[in-house]
Amino acid sequence: MGWTFVSETHEPMQKLLLPYRGKEITNREWDKLVKEELVKEFGSRAQYVHASDHCSNMKNVGACDCAKTGRALVTRVRRGRPSYYLVL
């Protein structure tokens, strides 16, 4: 997925994450939020937008331009199944 589309999801995702600021969420909780809310606005391709695409300490190929910057939405705190992310 291209970074331009992923970057379009940045602000809507930031709004969805407001209630979780300062808390940890799992990648499963992120995916649930995406499926229940983001897909309504952006269609099914939004289901492929992952926490790791808006992350302060990692940068995937095709990630949002916030990756590894102070604008990132989350920091990955624990890797695994599930992975944990701190909402910034």
Q: Does 66 bind Zn ion (CB under 5 A)?
A: yes
- The smaller minimum CB distance to Zn ion, of residues 66 and 87, is found at 66
Site string for Zn ion, 15-34 (x = CB under 5 A): --------------------
Query: And the tokens for 32?
Result: 């649930």
3-state secondary structure 10-22: HHHHHHHHHHHCC
Q: Please give the Cα distance from 6 to 45 (Å, whole number).
A: 10
Q: Does 54 bind Zn ion (CB under 5 A)?
A: yes
28-36, 42-50, 63-71, 79-87 -> range binding Zn ion (CB under 5 A): 63-71
Q: How open is the CA angle 32-87-10, to the nearest 5 degrees?
A: 70
User: Which residue ranges make up the site for Zn ion (CB under 5 A)?
Assistant: 10, 54, 64, 66
